[in-house]
């Protein structure tokens, strides 16, 4: 990526994940630069001339399941876009990565595992850093719409959703995200099974060792007893 730096040879996605610090403080400048390039490229690829309309069947099934209806999803997306304070992005993502927990080290189950979710992020933050798979992005930085819409953010977002969004692209991204999640979950399942089998084998080994030590102790006690006349 940047010759002679720690980011050299990384993709934009890898650089984002490597430079993001989980919100403990301001993200590093390399994160902002990489994320904004990634976000804008993703945003432009989410649109096409003559877009909008009704989503394809498979995507629509997910939308109906998770938002009640296409109209329900649009309302939630619009609400997220209009309540994002200041510059940022609004996302439709598939949350299906890893085990069904909020964080891999957390015991708290996530109700949104394997589902479509809508989120809003400030500045350049991207759902990839949460382990989500982005499907659709709309830029709500002021420069994205002010020349055409001035402060009418709602009109700008509506125009994209009604006339420009490529639902076919969103559906294709969803299919890939689901496939990746299934593959990751299967890999994790196998790792868990291997650990369980190893723990079981270690437990059996310790049990055999204790039994062997017990027999040896019994033999030593027997040898130490005086022989009766």
Q: What is the pLDDT of residues 96-142, one digit of tens each?
A: 754 443 343 333 334 556 899 999 999 999 999 888 999 999 999 99
Which domains can be identified in the chain, with CATH numbers? 12-178 (3.55.40.20)
Q: What is the pLDDT of residue 11?
A: 84
CA distances 169 to 4, 90, 130, 175, Å, are 36, 17, 22, 10
Judged on CB neighbours under 10 Å (0-12, 13-18, 19+), 189 is exposed
pLDDT tens, position by position, 164-173: 999 999 999 9
Q: What is the pLDDT of residue 113?
A: 65
93 contacts 133 by C-beta, under 8 angstroms: yes
Averaged over 63-74, what is the pLDDT?
97
> Is the pTM here over 0.95, yes or no?
no
Measured in whole angstroms, how far is the alpha carbon of residue 74 from the centre of its chain? 22
Phi, psi of 115, rounded to the nearest 5 degrees:
-135, 165
User: Can you read off the two tokens belonging to residue 165?
Assistant: 């969004």
CA distance 143 to 127: 22
């Amino acid at each position: 990526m940047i010759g002679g730096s720690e980011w050299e040879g990384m993709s934009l996605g890898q650089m984002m994940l490597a430079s993001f610090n989980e919100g403990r403080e301001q993200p590093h400048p390399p994160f902002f630069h990489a994320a904004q390039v990634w976000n804008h490229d993703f945003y432009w690829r989410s649109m096409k001339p003559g877009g909008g309309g009704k989503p394809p069947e498979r995507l629509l099934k997910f939308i109906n399941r998770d938002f009640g209806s296409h109209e329900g999803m649009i309302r939630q997306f619009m609400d997220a876009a209009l309540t994002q304070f200041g510059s940022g992005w609004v996302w439709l993502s598939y949350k299906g990565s890893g085990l069904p927990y909020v964080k891999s080290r957390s015991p708290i189950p996530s109700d949104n595992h394997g589902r479509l979710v809508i989120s809003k992020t400030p500045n350049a933050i991207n759902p990839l850093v949460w382990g989500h798979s982005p499907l659709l992005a709309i830029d709500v930085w002021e420069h994205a719409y002010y020349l055409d819409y001035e402060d009418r953010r709602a009109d700008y977002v509506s125009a994209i959703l009604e006339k420009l969004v490529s639902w076919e692209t969103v559906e294709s991204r969803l299919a890939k995200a689901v496939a990746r999640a299934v593959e990751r979950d299967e890999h994790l399942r196998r790792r868990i099974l291997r650990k369980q089998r190893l723990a079981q084998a270690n437990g059996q080994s310790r049990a055999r060792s204790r039994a062997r030590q017990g027999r040896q102790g019994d033999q030593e006690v027997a040898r130490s007893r005086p022989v009766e006349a």
